Amino acid sequence: DYAKAGYYLLPTGQKDRTVTFMSVVYTVWMILASIMPAFGVTGALVLSLPAAILVLILGMDVLLHAWRHHQSPSDGTARKLMFATIRYLPLLQITYVVDHFLA
């Protein structure tokens, strides 16, 4: 158990609304960082418009789960948010790779 060892998995160490709000804010930043390649500001990594739209849709899915968790914090909504983020990263990477080879 992490708590017994003195490790906290939550930024504040408590289950509170601050943590759920931080999830929403960090998700927005994640989406912005993920679509930056569409604007050509990331060097050799460039996204086409269709790929950028797909990345935006993937990010909005995570944002929806983060918002739902913020509105109704529970272990169930936290679990759904966790699975949304686990889905997001591989789908994002697949989108980047496929777009690179199709563009």
pLDDT (tens digit per residue) in 53-75: 999 999 999 999 999 999 999 98
What are the respective helix, strand and coil percentages of the chain, to the nearest 5?
A: 75, 0, 25
Nearest to 95 by CA among 42, 32, 60, 52: 52
User: pLDDT tens digits, residue range 12-29?
Assistant: 555 678 889 999 999 999
pLDDT of residue 16: 72
